[in-house]
Amino acid sequence: MKTRTLGKTDLEIVPLIFGGNVFGWTADEAKSFEILDALVDRGVNCIDTANVYSAWVPGNKGGESETIIGKWLARGGKRDKIVLLTKVGNPMKDGGKGLSKKYILEEVEQSLTRLQTDYIDLYQSHKDDAETPLEETLSAYEELIKQGKVRFVGASNYTGARLAEAIELGEAKKLPVYKTLQPEYNLYDRKAYEQDLAPVAAKYGVGVIPYFSLASGFLTGKYQSLEDAKGAGREGLVKKYFDDRGAKILKALKQVSEETGAEQAAISLAWLLAQPTVTAPIASATSTKQLEALVASVALTLSDAQVKTLTDASAY
């Protein structure tokens, strides 16, 4: 299976990243293990999670996803086959948050313990922290890299200006530089990324790994109406997509699906992979059947005409 380098790192990944937010949420431990085994069997080698996953679930406090991944890694001895991504900074149930040096150094130990590993391949700032100087955050990462606990660092939910500032500061001060960016980006949610972040990613060679790649399931085509989403309990997540533009996107996806024989989820991810700044999309599944469509995107190459059909239909 083809691979891509994750930004300016030596991390080689199959260009599909599995989103571990479902572990401990819509996938219990047994189902999570099944999905993780299936991922490796199909050649997918990159998993993204965060310390906060899945604190939004009643009864959870955060760390559930990392804990499940850690148990799976310990059980299967597959750490050397996995490129492991996690994040720090979003508010936890215990009130902890932000990107201060003290907090990062405390939280990384918690993540390492839950993940049952002694290093994280890519440690990401989950959300920009305006109250902490960028230099302080990067100096924390410098310490962790020197200790061998973190290999590379990335950013998520930064503006273009702040990302550029962080990269230029890191280069000037000889501190770690963000190698990746994790933004919201998909066929529907294009404008913010393409206008603000894509130019920065291109300028500095940042590897882009979009989240919400399938727009909370809307782009899979399984919800043809808001009524469909209501029945699946997803109305709140996908309601904004059911407008004229959303309808044009679904129509274009159906057309390309008929031309290629591929599922709409695979086509949506393949469109992202065709974008010049994107390294690999992040997508989740709660069954091995759903996983097949995600994996199919890696081998799917859309024609220039098909990419244009989708790009034109989703124009903003």
Q: What is the pLDDT of residues 26-76, one digit of tens each?
A: 999 999 999 999 999 999 999 999 999 999 999 999 999 999 999 999 998
Predicted pLDDT of residue 225: 79
Integer Cα distance of 93 and 52 in angstroms? 8
Integer Cα distance of 101 and 81 in angstroms? 30
CATH annotation of 4-224+266-302: 3.20.20.100
Backbone angles phi, psi at 132, to 5 degrees: -115, 130
Integer Cα distance of 236 and 229 in angstroms? 8
Domain boundaries, the chain: 4-224+266-302
Q: At what angle do helices 101-115 and 134-146 cross, to 10 degrees?
A: 40
Predicted pLDDT of residue 231: 67
Integer Cα distance of 2 and 45 in angstroms? 12
Predicted pLDDT of residue 233: 65
Handedness of CA 281, 21, 285, 85 (dihedral sign): positive
Predicted pLDDT of residue 223: 85
Whether pLDDT at 235 is above 90: no
Joined tokens for residue 49:
């999670």
State mean pLDDT over 224-237: 75
Joined tokens for residue 36:
């993780």
**CB atoms closer than 10 angstroms to residue 136:** 14
Predicted pLDDT of residue 222: 86
Predicted pLDDT of residue 76: 86
| Average pLDDT in the chain | 96
Indicate which residues carry an active-site annotation. 53
Enumerate the H helices of the chain as residue ranges.
29-41, 64-76, 101-115, 134-146, 160-173, 191-192, 198-204, 226-231, 235-238, 244-260, 264-273, 288-299, 304-313
Predicted pLDDT of residue 232: 63
Peptide bond into 257 cis (omega under 30): no
Higher-scoring residue by pLDDT: 117, 289: 117
Higher-scoring residue by pLDDT: 169, 76: 169
Residue-wise pLDDT for 290-316, tens only, equals 999 999 999 999 999 999 999 999 999
pTM: 0.96
